[in-house]
Amino acid sequence: MSKPPKQVKIVEVSPRDGLQNEKQVVDLATKLELIERLGQSGVRNIEVTGFVSPKWVPQLADSSQLCQQLSQHKDIHYSALVPNLKGLELAIEGGMKEVAVFTAASELFTKKNINCTIEESLVRFKPVVSLAKQNNIKVRGYVSCVLGCPYEGEINPSKVAEITEKLFALGCYEVSLGDTIGTGTPLKAQKMLKACTEIADIDALALHFHNTYGQALANIYACLELGAHIIDASVAGLGGCPYAKGASGNVATEDVVYMLDGMGIKTGVDLKTLIQTGKWISQKINKSNNSQAGKAKA
């Protein structure tokens, strides 16, 4: 490994990405307990919800109540997904100190997911970032479909780098690269990340890999070799995107932490507590646990 990181920042996305795909509405108390348990396991960055249209994603319709009832711990960074100004205004009301805007490297996916073109999405984000900055709110950016699109197929790494650069130019402090449908493989992931490091510092690039074909850990390992050290993950491997047919869960946080522990790379996360959290939420929402580490320790 050329530049092994000593430490990895884990961004836990299960309360948002993990739950958004669940048909059965998960009650607010369970969502709040999930966030609390994740914090107890040592996770320090948690995407707690999304202020998106409740007509598009009914599961997250309780985002304002969730933020009102969330007890925010000082040492944990909480964030929420916002697609537009309305979402940001609600996030501000909810006391969020960080939000994430999201677009994609694929036109068709962007249309299906947020009902606009990539260019329109970037225009839409401009006032979002500006209002966020006025309120001392950090803005993260997501690029979806970085390793393939359910509607357009192959995606050119240069397109991913182009959109990533535009998000940084808007004022995002970090951009998360989403393999939304989990079709990526390690060498492709490296090629895509290398294209992005030509326009951005590796310290500001996150990996957000779904695990549809069981490739997410291999893809992460390949990107660690290039110095990547920010990883989005979801406990129990929950997740998926309602607008990306066939997309399964994110890489399970337990599996990422198990691998990094074994490599001597610090995450600050206690694997045992995290595994218990994964088992608890899987039982609570009646889902099979997709974490291999979680199953092995069951």
User: Which uninterrupted H or E stretch holds 207?
Assistant: strand 205-209
Which of Mg ion, ligand HMG, none is residue 142 near (CB under 5 to 8 Å by kind)?
A: ligand HMG
Query: Who contacts 74 (Cβ-Cβ below 8 Å, separation ≥6)?
Result: none
**By the 8 A CB rule, do 175 and 143 touch?**
yes
Span 178-207, contacts to ligand HMG by CB under 6 A: 178, 180
Which of Mg ion, ligand HMG, none is residue 45 near (CB under 5 to 8 Å by kind)?
A: none
Q: How far is CA 265 from CA 4, 77, 262, 298, in A?
A: 8, 21, 8, 24
Q: Which stretch binds ligand HMG (CB under 6 A): 30-38, 78-86, 199-207, 267-275?
A: 78-86
- Helix, strand, coil % in the chain, rounded to nearest 5: 45, 15, 40
User: With CB under 6 A, what is the number of residues at the site for ligand HMG?
Assistant: 26
62 touches Mg ion (CB under 5 A): no
Q: Of residues 12, 17, 179, 255, which one binds Mg ion by CB under 5 A?
A: 17
Catalytic residue check, 241: yes
Span 90-129, contacts to ligand HMG by CB under 6 A: 102, 113-115
Give the residues across from 140 on adjacent strands: 100, 174
**209 residue type, one letter:** F
Distance of closest approach, residue 84 Cβ to ligand HMG, in angstroms:
5
Q: What is the C-alpha separation between 37 and 34, in angstroms, rounded? A: 5
List b or e across 49-63, with b for residues whose CB sees 16 or more CB atoms inside 10 angstroms.
Answer: bbbbbeeebebbebb
User: Which uninterrupted H or E stretch holds 206?
Assistant: strand 205-209
Distance of closest approach, residue 281 Cβ to ligand HMG, in angstroms:
18
Residue 266 gets which letter from DSSP?
B
Distance of closest approach, residue 210 Cβ to ligand HMG, in angstroms:
6
Distance of closest approach, residue 258 Cβ to ligand HMG, in angstroms:
22
Distance of closest approach, residue 79 Cβ to ligand HMG, in angstroms:
11
Q: Of residues 11, 38, 52, 271, which one binds ligand HMG by CB under 6 A?
A: 52
Specify the residue, 86 or 133, whose C-beta has the smaller distance to ligand HMG.
Answer: 86
Span 6-45, contacts to ligand HMG by CB under 6 A: 17, 20
Q: Of residues 5, 15, 83, 148, which one binds ligand HMG by CB under 6 A?
A: 83
Q: What is the C-alpha separation between 71 and 68, in angstroms, rounded? A: 8
Q: How many CA atoms lie within 13 A of 279 on its CB side?
A: 12
User: With CB under 5 A, what is the number of residues at the site for Mg ion?
Assistant: 1
- Nearest residue by C-beta to Mg ion? 17
Site residues, ligand HMG (CB under 6 A): 17, 20, 50-57, 83-84, 86-87, 102, 113-115, 142, 144, 178, 180, 208, 210, 241, 243
Task: List the catalytic residues.
Answer: 241
